[in-house]
Amino acid sequence: MIQFTSTHYLLRSLFAVFGLLGTALFYLLFSKYAIGISPDSVSYISVARHLLDGSGFICYDGYPYVLQAPLYPILLSVVSIVTALDPLLSAGYVNAALFGLIVYFSGVLFTKHLKSLPLALLGSAATLFSFILVQASLIALSEPLFILLTIAALIFFENYRLNKKISSLLGFSVVVALACLTRYVGVILIVTGSICIFAFLKNTVVLKLKHVCLFLSVSFLPAAFWIARNYYSSGTLVGQRSASSFSFKENFFFTLQTFFKWYSPLEKSEMDMLISLSLLLVCVIIAIFLLVKFNSANRQFLSMGSIFLFVIFYAGMILISSTTTAFDKIDNRLLSPLFIPVTLLVFSIIDKTAQWLKEYINEGVLSIVIILELTLWIKYQTSTTKATLRTFIAQNGCEYSGREWKDNSVIGFLKDNREITRSYALYSNVPEAVYLLANINTKWSPPKTNYNSPTLLNMQPSLAGMWSEKNGTCLVWFTNVDRKFLFTLEELAENSNLQLIADLKDGSIYTISEK
């Protein structure tokens, strides 16, 4: 078990300073500019609002909230109760606090696993300036909460591995349960935790089984209740899913490309990435050899095993699920929970390699070279983060909170002509924007396929009964968004009667009825 010295306490103080700086940065940013809002953000905010008004887990389109896990909107609603702010505003303060906590606890995680304290300090600094984490925190999404809970889970497991106390196991289990309630992919922490408990603890088989059963009971039970609720509400476990548009090969290279961009600004071809991956595997083999040479392989594997397994299982889960199920293209958002664990693995290899090289190279020279290389990498992170923040400020926000959507002519028309909402039921190709910016409940226009999937739902718009709302139906169509899973305006016109109400710069508004 690590014995904390005054140096460790000084490091934790520095981690706290880094965390407070990160929180202050986002607090100032969101005080002047609204937090970024994506389509998923609108779902979270609408659910939080419905929780506050007693409607329950209902999305902006009126359907049960099942596609995402519930903890982030619950958190937004709780903070809104405390602050008396709308969830749209409280989301900014929540993400600011989450970013600071991520920076602090990443430093704690680095300290637990790295022998070199300067490397741990650089790791925390890299988290503060990381464009991956800054991008994730600029938008009202569940990723920052999931990243924080993942770091906390890895810290709790290391505490449990070292002291073997039931209290530490319960703490680990509760954090994993919260992660599963934040994102469904949190189930990977359950898989990782179960294997680690059985493989890395020096207990009898019977005791290991008891601990695994306790862990599974606590960590999975809340998610099981939520999934059962989903099935009762919608007839699906985690929402309707369909086939992916991307092949395994495409997703594999999307994943590699994302990882390489974290550590190098250079563009790489598929062959370059394969060569780099091969070299990386060679480095891992060399690192294992060095661990054996220093007679510390078993101890180091026990320490880093949980980190390594989580990275492998999570990346594998994203790769496989994105190949079998329709998701967005694999990018920084989907892989952001791996940034800190992967960086920790890289730093661990650097740490062990440096210990071996000290036998052949002057320690002072070696330290200068390592610090210089890592400083250049942090400079790359910082410059990309600055560019991200400049873009955010120039656009006065991000996505639906940005200037382009705030000045949208269709949204402006709906705000100025409220009688439309009293006379018609609204459908749209961007219903979340209408809900968020015009405060009008709106349903989806007819889909041709499921989201980001080639699987056809309808060969042609089956509109029977769809446009027969009691007060008539209005179609709000935006031209600045192209959603290929929806029927186009031309396809809708072939199968229904469209009567133009307003032709605007950013789209059109029609009354629509069955032909």
For residue range 180-229, list pLDDT tens digits in order: 999 999 999 999 999 999 888 877 888 889 999 999 999 999 999 999 99
DSSP class of residue 60? Answer: T
Residue range 370-382: average pLDDT?
A: 87
The confidence band for 2, taking pLDDT boundaries of 50, 70 and 90, is: very low
Burial 125-146 (b: 16+ CB within 10 A, else e): bbbbbbbbbbbbbbbbbbbbbb
Q: Tokens standing for 380?
A: 């790359």
Q: Rounded to an integer, what is the distance from CA 334 to the centroid of its chain?
A: 6
pLDDT score, position 79: 96
Q: How far is CA 111 from CA 3, 123, 161, 215, 340, in A?
A: 12, 9, 16, 25, 13
Contact indicator for 94, 101 with CB cutoff of 8 Å: no
Q: How far is CA 30 from CA 381, 389, 393, 440, in A?
A: 21, 12, 10, 25
Query: At residue 353, what is the residue type?
Result: T
Residue 291: count other Cβ atoms within 10 Å of its Cβ.
21
Select from 72, 70, 73, 67 the least CA-distant residue to 238: 67
Using only C-alpha atoms, the chain has a radius of gyration, in whole angstroms, of 25
Query: Is residue 81 scored above 70 in pLDDT?
Result: yes
The confidence band for 457, taking pLDDT boundaries of 50, 70 and 90, is: low
Residue 363, C-beta contacts closer than 8 angstroms, at least 6 positions apart:
none
Query: Is residue 296 scored above 60 in pLDDT?
Result: no
pLDDT exceeding 70 applies to what percent of the chain?
87
Q: How far is CA 129 from CA 144, 202, 335, 384, 387, in A?
A: 15, 39, 17, 9, 12
pLDDT score, position 349: 81
pLDDT score, position 482: 86
pLDDT exceeding 90 applies to what percent of the chain?
51
pLDDT score, position 295: 47
The confidence band for 354, taking pLDDT boundaries of 50, 70 and 90, is: confident
Mean pLDDT for all residues in the chain: 86
Residue range 63-83: average pLDDT?
A: 95
Residue range 323-330: average pLDDT?
A: 82
Q: At CA 395, angle to CA 390 and CA 400, rounded to 5?
A: 130
Q: Pick the more confident residue, 241 or 54.
A: 54
Q: Pick the more confident residue, 472 or 298.
A: 472
Residue 499, C-beta contacts closer than 8 angstroms, at least 6 positions apart:
510, 511, 512
The confidence band for 1, taking pLDDT boundaries of 50, 70 and 90, is: very low
Q: Is 68 exposed, middle or buried (0-12, 13-18, 19+ CB in 10 A)?
A: buried
pLDDT score, position 281: 67
Contact indicator for 435, 46 with CB cutoff of 8 Å: yes
Q: At what angle do helices 248-263 and 297-324 cross, to 10 degrees?
A: 130
The confidence band for 314, taking pLDDT boundaries of 50, 70 and 90, is: very high
pLDDT score, position 265: 80
Contact indicator for 49, 59 with CB cutoff of 8 Å: no
Residue range 31-60: average pLDDT?
A: 93
Query: Is residue 65 scored above 60 in pLDDT?
Result: yes
Residue 496 dihedral angles phi and psi, to the nearest 5°: -155, 170
User: How many residues belong to the chain?
Assistant: 515
Residue range 470-497: average pLDDT?
A: 86
Residue 74, C-beta contacts closer than 8 angstroms, at least 6 positions apart:
48, 51
Separation between Cα atoms, residue 436 and residue 406, nearest integer Å: 10
Query: Is residue 7 scored above 90 in pLDDT?
Result: no
The structure tokens 């407070």 sit at 20
DSSP SS3 for 359? coil
Lowest mean pLDDT among 27-36, 103-112, 414-423: 414-423
pLDDT in tens, 229-269: 999 998 888 877 777 778 888 888 888 888 888 988 866 66
The confidence band for 12, taking pLDDT boundaries of 50, 70 and 90, is: confident
Q: Pick the more confident residue, 278 or 370.
A: 370
Query: At residue 311, what is the residue type?
Result: V
Q: Tokens standing for 67?
A: 């596609």
Pairing of strands 425-428, 443-444: parallel
Contact indicator for 220, 179 with CB cutoff of 8 Å: no
3-state helix, strand, coil in the chain (%, to 5): 65, 10, 25
Report which listed range, 223-237, 260-274, 292-306, 485-499, is most confident: 223-237
Query: At residue 454, what is the residue type?
Result: P
Lowest mean pLDDT among 10-24, 353-367, 382-396: 353-367
The confidence band for 297, taking pLDDT boundaries of 50, 70 and 90, is: very low
Residue range 342-369: average pLDDT?
A: 78
**Ordered strands of the 443-444 beta sheet:** 443-444, 425-428, 473-478, 507-514, 496-504
Separation between Cα atoms, residue 208 and residue 185, nearest integer Å: 25
pLDDT score, position 285: 63
Query: Is residue 283 scored above 70 in pLDDT?
Result: no
Residue 141 dihedral angles phi and psi, to the nearest 5°: -130, 165
Select from 513, 503, 455 the least CA-distant residue to 477: 503
pLDDT score, position 269: 65
pLDDT score, position 471: 64
Residue 415: count other Cβ atoms within 10 Å of its Cβ.
12
Contact indicator for 501, 510 with CB cutoff of 8 Å: yes
Half-sphere exposure of 245 (CA within 13 A, CB side): 13
Long-range contacts of 126-129 (CB under 8 A, 24+ apart): 126/343, 126/374, 126/377, 126/378, 126/381, 127/18, 127/102, 127/103, 127/340, 127/343, 128/18, 128/19, 128/21, 128/22, 128/103, 129/378, 129/381, 129/382, 129/385
pLDDT in tens, 382-432: 999 999 999 999 998 889 999 889 899 999 999 998 888 778 889 999 999
Instruction: Give the H or E element holding residue 511.
Output: strand 507-514
pLDDT score, position 222: 95
Separation between Cα atoms, residue 493 and residue 219, nearest integer Å: 51
In order, the DSSP letters of 456-469 are BS-SS---TTTT--
The confidence band for 510, taking pLDDT boundaries of 50, 70 and 90, is: very high
